[in-house]
Amino acid sequence: MGPMRERSPDGSYGRIFAVVRRIPRGRVATYGQVAQLAGLAGHARQVGYALHALGAESPVPWHRVINARGGVSPRSLPGWERVQRDLLEREGVRFDERGCVALDHYRWRPRRSPISVAGGAR
DNA sequence: GCAATGACGCTCT
DNA sequence: CAGAGCGCCATTG
């Protein structure tokens, strides 16, 4: 009960991980979308922070999460962008010359939100 | 306990 | 159409 904020790797972040884990192969979702589906609308930044805490070898398909521009966010380590891009391309996601994917085509559209749709919002 | 940073998003100019 | 600024919250030093 209590004041346990659940800061463990499977705690409040688990909500975000649960959403990311639901992203089907060959599909992508934006940080803001994941945040909204996790019930943290507007906290897109926290999604990125949570994924960063996960690690590249995490069981969560972090590579399926991209920014609203449809591209992979620049990371501290050079070349990492290529890794995420390669993982997505391996799933069938194609990038254009700008290094962006067509969100209108690859964006994951869950029929049922992980959290209550609150009266069929959307 | 305060200050700065960060795998973002949206609006304004 | 492109660039810059502000907002949001959690983690780290």
Q: Where are the domains of chain A?
A: 12-106
Instruction: Answer whether any strand C atom is within 7 A of the Cβ of A47.
Output: no
Nucleotide nearest to A30 (CA to C1'): B8
**Contact between A19 and A12 (Cβ < 8 Å):** no
pLDDT greater at residue A70 or residue A81: A70
pLDDT tens column, A73-83: 988 777 888 89
**B6 closest protein residue (CA to C1'):** A49
Length A20 CA → B13 C1' (Å): 36
Residue A35, pLDDT above cutoff 50: yes
Q: Which fold has domain A12-106?
A: Arc Repressor Mutant, subunit A (1.10.10)
- A52 and A34 in contact (C-beta within 8 Å)? no
The model's pTM is 0.85
List bases in chain B with any atom under 7 Å of a protein Cβ: 6-10
pLDDT in tens, A41-60: 889 999 998 998 887 778 89
Q: Calculate the alpha carbon distances from A16 to A5, A51, A69, A89 in Å.
A: 15, 9, 20, 23
